[in-house]
Amino acid sequence: MKHHEHPLLVGLHHITWRATASALTNHEVVAEAMAWLIGDPDAVQLERSTSYHGSELWMVTAHSKKKSFAMKSLAQLGVENLQVLHDTLEQRFDEDHVLYLRLNLDDLISSKISLADSSRTGTVKGQAKIEVYPGQDALEQARTTLQDAIEAAQKKN
């Protein structure tokens, strides 16, 4: 059996989380929260910048190409949030097999995870690249990956 024909081989190629910390926000606290979310402090990068008006900003990025870390990070969202993602998948999934979501930054800093409305400020943008091989239905693979994450989250509790 070829690798791409195996129906159980689904998951994530990678996951990326991005947040912006303004001069009023402690960027180290944001970086710690992102490290907790990704599961690897070494996967977090800080980049100092300035806003359009000249105030200091920090771009905080957590990225993992390690499939196991990526899946654990997705499962970290918890059963309820993952079920919402599963139920709204068609609005969050693009033709490049990327799942888009936003988390509430204030909640994440408090070690809680809640999905955020895209119009709010203080969010963490998430992108999860779903593994899809030729001949596989992309939406079905994404649903299966989310279901696997739900099962992992249930085991964690």
- Which CATH number is 52's domain given? 3.30.1440.10
Q: Which residues constitute the domain of residue 112?
A: 3-156
pLDDT given for residue 70 in this prediction = 94
Distance CA 80, CA 108 (A): 15
Amino acid at 127: Q
Full strand arrangement of the beta sheet holding 44-50: 44-50, 56-64, 12-22, 123-130, 98-104
Work out how many domains the chain is built from and give that number.
Answer: 1
**Mean pLDDT in runs of 10 for the chain (157 residues)?**
41 94 85 95 93 84 93 96 97 96 95 85 93 93 96 88
Q: Say what the pTM is.
A: 0.88
